[in-house]
Every structure is written in structure tokens, then in C-alpha cells.
Chains A and B, each alone.
Chain A
Amino acid sequence: MSNLNAPNSPFVPFSPNPSIQSGVPTATPPLSASKPAQLGSSNLRYASSRKSIYDRHLNRTQRSELSKASFAFLFGEMIQYAQKQVSGIQDLEKKLNIQGYAIGQRLLELLLYREGRSAKRETRVLGILQFIAQTLYRHLFGKPADGLEKSREHEDEYMLIDHDPVVNSHISVPKEMSQLNCAAFVAGIIEAVLDGSLFPCRVTAHSVFSEQFPSKTVFLIKFEESVLEREAVLQ
């Protein structure tokens, strides 16, 4: 990764430090800790009989299930907690985005690890979007995203469509807050996966009502200039 910063390189330099990289929510801590994890010098206690988390296989919980209700109640509390701290809908969505962002960072690593030898490093926009629409979505929600579209008006915009986001299934937004879409949480997950794959962007969730799909959500993905430049070079 280190030679990517060569001046003539078409690749975007990526720093885990959020203050250097634009487009990253500044409240998100970088994934790598400031000091490397040295178990020898760590002061953590471990249970005498039980092994630590490093002894458990990462794939152990891959197909485990919990009740959707558990997620719904936790997500509901997340929303209520965030609501107390902010005053506007946009700020609320931003808070949810940030909480999703932390998850996306971890999921990206986890999903790529699980793909093992067949993991492919995506360098094209369509490739990474398919990864999100298929692999990521299937893992989190048990179904692929319902559609992927490229904007006709704006070169840097793509849309990921979900007819009935799992995260919104129990939520009814009050009429006075009709602009709010709590899937901003999922937008954060998507944004983190894209940022982490070197496709810096901004992702927002928008409600699009239709008779057939009253809960339809469109995730608007707006890529930064550098992504388009690289895409053009790779064409």
C-alpha cells in the first residue's frame, strides 16, 4: 500500500487518519489503534478457564441468527439516543451514518477475510458496487439489494435501491419528520465499505414512496473526483 503515494500514481492515497482524508466523518476513530496490539505487554485479564477471543474461529458466527426484534429494539434505542443529542433531521441522519460507518469498516475486513483465496480487490466502480449489492447485502440482510443504477444527470452519482430495508421494517417516521430516513445507518455502512476500498464518497438514504413499495429507499452514492479520474484511466 505504501507505494501508492507516488506522484504519478493514479491511485488515491489513503490514510487511516480521518483528519487527513477528506470525506470521512471526522468523529469516526481510525480503525488501527495507535499502538499495535501486543498481547505480551497488554494489561488485560483473561478468564482462567476460557480462552480469549483470539482462540475462537472468526467464521463461527457467520451463519448464526438472532431475532429481528433484538435488532429492532437496539436500533430503536440508537435512534432515540441520537435524537436527544441533535436538533435537526440532517444531524440525526449524520449521527446514524457515523454509527453505521464504524460497522462498515469492520464488515469490509471480515467479508474479505471470509472470501479467502477468491477475494478480489475491486478497482472498478461497478465491481465494488456489486460487492456491496450482493455480498454485503446478502450477509447482513439475507437478500441482495434490489437494484443498482447509474445517474443520467451526474457522472459521479450512483444509486443502490432497496425496496424494503430491513432496518426500517418496524419504523414509522412521524409526518412532521417525513424527510428522515433511518436507513442513513445503512448508508454509513456502505460509505465505510467504499471508503475502505479506496472509493471515497458520500452516501445518503432517501425515501421514495411508491404504491407497490411504500418503504422503498434509494442510497445515493456520490463519488469524489479522484474516483472518476481513476475510472477514466482504467477504461
Chain B
Amino acid sequence: MSSTKAARIGEEVWKTRIDKVNAELVTLTYGSIVAQLCKDFEGDYMEVNKQLDKMGYNIGLRLIEDFLAKTNTGRCANFRETAETISKIGFKVFLNITPTVTNWTSDNKQFSLIFDENPLADFVELPDDGRAQNELWYSNILCGVLRGALEMVQMQVDAHFASDVLRGNDTTEMRVTLIRMIDDELPPGDD
């Protein structure tokens, strides 16, 4: 599936098949979750990152069914197609954004998602305690979501943030790596 076709599908599904809510409800809810975690782990931001990733993973396991049900996406032919699907359809129908896919490695197993906009982090400023900007990945839940969702369609991936404007970087970039295809649990007949 080409990038333009994916973009068209994403746009169409977003317009016609997705129930919507006020964006601030989502942003504030996510903020409340992160703030609660920071409080529960008493400023241990590495733990907060881990917890966000875990929560994201749990979401991803379920979100994939919603994604498939709403978009009728078939199996992607290769990892490049997966990347376009994630960016133009996946992120579009859930967060109404289309992060840019770039920085492919030569073996086509690793790519970056560059986020121009991040609704989860709207109007967020990290605590000025000298550590948050060096340790906390505010939107880490997204990494877990990708990991969980792709695992359900037989892809084991690693996803992590390489930079974040909340940390003073110039871009917000997530790096996604295909570790392996999970063949043993493949639904019979699909390849």
C-alpha cells in the first residue's frame, strides 16, 4: 500500500467512522495519569517510563482489534508498509496526527517516526527539578502501544523515544525496530 493510499484511507476512516471527543479531555486525562505515576514513584522517572510503557502495552493488545475493526486493514506485505500504515492510518484514526516516517536503515528493519504535533503533550512542561528533562519520556505510553499492537499481529518490535521537544530537543522522534516475526503463533494460512 502506498503512502498516499494509506493517507487517504486514514483520512476517510477518521472522518466517517470514528467517534470523537474533545481533545482536551484526552490530554488532561493522560496528564493526570502521568502526574499520578510521578507521585506514586516519588520522582523515579525511570520507573515512570517503564510503567507508561507497560500501560501502553496493555492498551496496544486491545487497540489493535479496534484498529482492525474500524479500518479493515489487511496484512501488510512488508515492514515498510507497516510503517506507513501505523503513521497514516493508525495515528490518524486515534490521535488525528500523521507522524513522518523517515530514517530507514538499509535492511529496512528500523525507522523513525517524527512527531510535529503530539496531542498527549499539549501545554505540558516537565518539572523543573533538574532530572525530569533528562530522564522522563512523557509520551512513553505510545511506545508500549506500538509494541503491544504489533505483537498481536505477529511482529515483535522495540519502540523507544530518541528525542522529545519537552526535553528541549528540536524534534520528537520515536525509533521503531523490527526484532523478529513471530511465526509460531501465526494464524494458519497467513504468511
Contact with A along B8-29 (1 / 0, CB 8 A): 0000001000111111111111
Interface string of A84-126 (1 = CB under 8 A from B): 0100000000000011101100110010000000000000000
In the bound complex, residues from chain A placing their C-beta under 8 Å from that of B119 are 61, 64, 66
B25 and A140 contacting across the interface, CB-CB below 8 Å:
yes
Residue of B whose beta carbon sits closest to that of A102: B32
Q: Is B7 at the interface (CB under 8 A from chain A)?
A: no
Residues 118-162 of chain A: 1 if any B CB is under 8 Å from the residue's CB, otherwise 0? 000000000000000000000111100000000000000000000
- Residue-wise, chain A 46-75 has the 8 Å CB interface mask toward B (1 for contact) of 111110110010100110111111110111
Decide if A77 touches B26 in the complex (CB within 8 Å): no
Total residues of chain B contacting the partner, CB 8 A: 48
Are B19 and A67 closer than 8 Å at their CB atoms?
Answer: yes
Chain B positions 126 through 146: 1 when the CB is less than 8 Å from some CB of chain A, otherwise 0: 101010010000000100000
Check B25–A61 contact: CB distance below 8 A. Answer: no
User: Chain A interface: which of B58-66, B77-85, B101-109, B176-184?
Assistant: B58-66
Q: Are B167 and A45 in contact (CB-based, < 8 A)?
A: yes
B22 & A70 in contact (Cβ 8 Å cutoff)? no
B36 touches A142 (CB 8 A): no
B170 x A50 contact (CB < 8 A): yes
- Asked whether A53 lies within 8 Å of B123 as measured between CB atoms, the reply is yes
A42 contacts which of B21, B30, B128 (Cβ < 8 Å)?
A: B128
A9-28: CB near B (< 8 Å → 1, else 0) gives: 00000000000000000010
Residue of B nearest to A140 (CB): B25
Decide yes or no whether A76 CB sits under 8 A from chain B. yes
B96 within 8 A of A: yes
List of B residues within 8 angstroms of A42 by Cβ: 128
Tell whether, in the assembled complex, residue B170 and residue A47 are in contact, meaning their CB atoms are under 8 Å apart.
Answer: yes
A43 contacts chain B at the CB level, 8 A cutoff: yes
Contacts of A78 in B (CB 8 A): 29, 32-33, 36
Tell me whether B170 and A67 are in contact (CB under 8 A).
Answer: no
Known A-B contacts A47-B169, A66-B94, A139-B22; A77 and B32 likewise in contact (beta carbons under 8 Å)? no
Question: Are B96's CB and A67's CB within 8 A?
Answer: yes
Say whether A66 contacts B29, CB under 8 Å: no
Closest 10 CB pairs of A and B: A45-B168, A64-B23, A68-B19, A65-B20, A103-B28, A73-B59, A77-B55, A66-B26, A66-B23, A99-B32
Q: Which A residues lie at the B interface, using CB under 8 A?
A: 27, 29, 42-50, 52-53, 56, 58, 61-62, 64-71, 73-78, 80-81, 85, 98-100, 102-103, 106-107, 110, 139-142, 166
Show 28 residue pairs from A and B whose CB-CB distance is below 8 angstroms, ordered by the A residue.
A46-B168, A47-B170, A47-B171, A48-B170, A50-B170, A53-B123, A61-B27, A64-B23, A64-B96, A66-B22, A66-B95, A66-B96, A68-B18, A69-B63, A70-B94, A73-B63, A74-B26, A74-B59, A74-B141, A78-B33, A80-B58, A81-B33, A81-B36, A85-B40, A99-B32, A107-B28, A140-B22, A142-B21
